[in-house]
Structure 1
């Protein structure tokens, strides 16, 4: 009988196969041809010349339609190099970058039933377009797990080396490198719900697998969207908040509008004072008349750049847990202003919205109603992803919330994690007692962080771009 991939396997792999006779973990190097491209150097390569008709070859490489069709199947790294061939090829790549703007989801699953033929980077589609942002979520087991180079599919080294590679580094190598637009989040548990028709759907993380220890890495790949910028603001100490956040937001809002922010807070930051998180309200001060989406979670750690990954690998080799100095990592999405106006450029079809299911939104019918109302109040885009950030303590509600959101947004990929505290803001705003006007809520004022910091809650951040397929309901 064939194995059902939706049923948890009792032989999950929770730890790495360390052994004294195996070489230590090695950082994956950037491909030589990419390095040569970045440094504008010639790369000598031994290639076998293929005999072909020169006249036919000339017609192919000079025909825009044919060239565009061929280039459309290349990875985004190869597309970058094609732009330097000639002006026609550059035009073809630029056109494809405006057309191939679908998101992708991916997963590396170390459950035994998925690694019999090698540890595979499972992707929902090819990464055709240069990435704008890549969010990688790894559970505690997946964050430092390594495997022999020859076991990895696709293999990062040619020929395979004799050393191990960290799986977080593998994802970064294939999806992000040589850019630095990736953000890796370490959390105890993950949320992951690809589209049902996707080949990655078999790796969905639902309540059955919620508490299991098998290593898993999952994430979302957002391609470059015309007019949209993504920037990670990294804060390493409380005194850095002004220069790392306030000054950056001031500079950004001179010419751009912040559409949304995803915030990942290291637990050590909140040990100082939970009220320090109110610095996020500066976004409202910087653009008081423009709404924006906000969602966040208290996590174990984040990896911001290749240096963090390298240090994480060194910690793995030394048998110690590596913790970065990143206290808060904030991914900010922005669009250009229309001249000196505070309105976004209408040509940039991109927007973000966020919804908070508070601790009082506990009953299943209320959860469903709140999500359905949110669905009616925002436009649905041709391309979209949602980041779900939830409290572990919501327990039985996790899978139900995901299913409700999938029903309301059937074409939206979902990714996220669980923590011990959530950050968020409702955009559009939820009127008080929106669905249950006869219920009087009593809440003790917890301090200035009220309205940003929540507990026993779930925050959904919807990111949409492209054509609007479902306008606002009137």
Structure 2
């Protein structure tokens, strides 16, 4: 792509999209790393092929089979334990099974998290992928936060647990590709954010909790968040790849979405290929205020190394691994937007988003705890919730304290994110401006000014996403 080309990618992930799903991979002996193949039954479903299996069926009473297949309560109980990929197949069996699957999609709305941590393993003795539980529902979006040392790592298939292939092959796989296949195939909805340092705090009762990260760590790490499809909610992506018409491309895409949708929250990742010379370089994000002046929204972001918001780039990662090179996308700014319908009679699933900024003046433990407690009193507690934490590396040893304070007031909320070199955010709900003594030196590199109120330094931005029943007002 030439330096002057423009490219905006817009996708609404609330709908199933099979068009770009990869087929089964043919083994090429000369290749060091190969794409992970889809399971044969998923591959057959996507391509609408008949799958002939050389297996002897179990002998069972036809009367018993009919009772099981046609009993809605039994069917629903059985299907509730399946992954969402397998539910895609089951909903095609009959109307009873289809009805059970649709009901489960409305009931199984809990988020999940996953991790590939290399602290206790190496590429020679094996790599373990863990997830907090079975991903029951179709994904709305899967976010993977990856540090630089873990981004391009690959491993022999037989050393990856669980094996990404139905029968472990003799090839190597890029570990990002493995995560993509396990978590969201056959749906392309994975956003990858690469940063030198990541943060990850699952729930204490989760099998992934032992891999918690609260401080700056540099060992190879892949952590992710799984948000299921929530009725009426869509996740859209915008990739800005050229300085030429960047703002116009953003305005046009936002205008198109805003015709029928209301923005609830925005995540912004500015790559280090688009350096902010001044706050004016990113202030065009405030256009959302013009689009919906009377409806507040959450906003959080930071400056990081790179993003992958287009799934075709997964192939580029595998190619880069084979060549021994780092994969670098063309993305300058990647934006994720959560929306709900404008004309919806009610927000049935109570989906909402809030954002909160710990500014440079919130430096002492007492101020951090007080600010987080005040935020927790202003937002409702949801049945399901997750938090994206985007923080400055320059906040020193405050990261662990901030996360522990946040966990204390939101005990059932997963926290995940990354560290950058400049933060983007708004306070929703609004927060009184900090009172800074005249004899105190503010710890920041540049002042964004009250006219913008969007770019910060030495700060932490929390983006709180909640849905389902409201447990506390």
Distance 1:409 1:310, change over 3 A: same
Of 281, 295, 300, the match for 1:295: 300
Match of 1:460 among 446, 458, 462: 462
User: Whole-Å Cα distance in 2 between the matches of residues 271 and 399 of structure 1?
Assistant: 28
Whether contact under 8 Å (2:266, 2:299) holds in the other structure is yes
Measure, in 1, the Cα distance between the counterparts of 2:318 and 2:247.
31
Deviation (angstroms), 1:214:
1.8
8 Å Cα contact 1:275-1:448 kept in structure 2: no
Of 128, 135, 145 in structure 2, the residue corresponding to residue 127 of structure 1 is 135
Going from structure 1 to structure 2, the CA distance change for 1:47 and 1:384 (only over 3 Å counts) comes to: same
Q: Which aligned pairs between 1:177-192 and structure 2 lie closer than 5 A?
A: 177-192=185-200
* Aligned residue number for residue 263 of structure 2: 258
Matches within 5 A, 1:389-468: 389-433=390-434, 436=435, 446=448, 450-468=452-470
> CA deviation digits over 1:373-397, x for unaligned, max 9?
0000010101000000000000110
- How far the C-alpha of 1:158 sits from its partner, in A, is 2.6
The CA distance in 2 between the partners of 1:114 and 1:202, in whole Å, is: 17
Find 1:245's aligned residue among 232, 242, 250: 250
* Displacement of 1:243: 5.6
Q: How does 1:222-237 map to 2 (within 5 A)?
A: 222-237=227-242
Taking structure 1 as reference, are residues 181 and 257 closer, same or farther at Cα in structure 2, changes over 3 Å only? same
* Aligned positions of 1:321-332 closer than 5 A: 321-332=326-337
Q: Structure 1 85/440 Cα, relative in aligned 2: closer, same or farther at 3 Å?
A: farther
Distance in 2 of aligned mates of 1:425 and 1:175: 31
Contact 2:234 2:338 in 1 (8 A): yes
Q: Per-residue displacement from partner, 1:427-463 (whole Å, max 9, x unpaired)?
A: 0011224xx5877989886469841111110000000
Detail structure 1 runs of 4+ shifted over 3 Å in the superposition.
Answer: 113-118, 271-274, 436-450
Superposed CA offset, 1:350-399 (max 9, x none): 00000000111111101100000000001010100000000000011010
| Count of residue correspondences | 442
- Whether contact under 8 Å (1:30, 1:173) holds in the other structure is yes
Give 3-state SS (helix, strand or coil) of 2:64's partner: helix
Whether contact under 8 Å (1:277, 1:449) holds in the other structure is no
8 A contact 1:275–1:447 mirrored in 2 = no
1:160 to 1:346, Cα distance in 2 relative to 1, 3 A: closer
Find 2:311's aligned residue among 306, 313, 316: 306
* Alpha-carbon offset, residue 151 of structure 1: 0.9
> Which of residues 31, 52, 56 is equivalent to 2:60?
52
Cα distance change, pair 243–25 in 1 and its aligned pair in 2 (3 A):
farther
Alpha-carbon distance in structure 2 between the residues aligned to 1:61 and 1:300:
51
Distance 1:297 1:373 in 2: 23
Quote how far apart the aligned CAs of 1:203 are: 0.3
Q: 1:77 aligns with which of 75, 79, 85?
A: 85
Query: Which one is further off, 229-238 or 456-465?
Result: 229-238
Larger deviation, residues 94-103 vs 329-338: 329-338
Q: Secondary structure at the match of 1:290?
A: coil
> What is the alpha-carbon distance in structure 2 between the residues aligned to residue 299 and residue 331 of structure 1?
15
Structure 1 22/129 Cα, relative in aligned 2: closer, same or farther at 3 Å?
Answer: same
SS at match of 1:132: strand
Whether the 8 Å contact between 2:301 and 2:423 is mirrored in structure 1 is yes
Deviation per residue, 1:297-319 (Å, 9 max, x gap): 11101112332111111111111
Give the aligned partner of residue 201 of structure 1.
209
Quick one: distance in 2 between partners of 1:390 and 1:155? 34
CA distance in 2, matches of 1:449, 1:272: 17
- Identify the residue that residue 384 of structure 1 maps to in structure 2: 385
Displacement after TM superposition at 1:118 (Å): 3.4
Q: Check conservation: 1:233, 1:244, Cα contact below 8 A.
A: no
Q: Deviations over 1:68-118 (max 9, x none)?
A: 111111110111111111121111001000110111111001113588973
State the match for 1:221 in structure 2: 226
Two-structure CA RMSD over aligned residues (Å): 2.2
The match for 1:63 is 71
Give the equivalent residue in structure 2 for 1:18: none
Is this contact kept in 1: 2:139–2:189, CA < 8 A?
yes
1:238 deviates by 2.3
Contact 2:121/2:127 (8 A) holds in 1:
no
**Counterpart-to-counterpart distance in 2, 1:455 and 1:424:** 11
Separation of aligned partners in 2, 1:240 and 1:146: 37
Does the CA-based 8 Å contact 2:372-2:406 persist in structure 1? yes
Question: Could you say what secondary structure the match of 2:407 adopts?
Answer: helix
Stretch deviating more after TM superposition (130-139 or 424-433): 424-433
Contact 2:193 2:306 in 1 (8 A): yes
| Aligned mates of 2:396, 2:433 — CA distance in 1 | 25
Where does structure 2 lack aligned partners over 5 or more consecutive residues? 1-28
Separation (CA, whole Å) in 1 of partners of 2:408 and 2:123: 31
Kept after mapping to 1: 8 A contact 2:126/2:159: yes
Equivalences for residues 129-168 of structure 1 within 5 A: 129-168=137-176
1:221-254 CA distance string (max 9 Å, x none): 0011111111111111123435642122112111
Q: Is the 8 A contact 1:23 1:162 kept in 2?
A: no
What is the TM-score with the length of structure 2 in the denominator?
0.89
Q: Cα deviation per residue 1:173-207 (whole Å; 9 max; x = unaligned)?
A: 01111112110010001110111111111000123
Query: Could you list the per-position Cα deviations for residues 267-288 of structure 1 after superposition, in whole angstroms to 9, with x for gaps in the alignment?
Result: 1112566522111111111111
Q: Secondary structure at the match of 1:60?
A: helix
Query: Residue 274 of structure 2: SS of its match in structure 1?
Result: helix
Partner of 1:333: 338
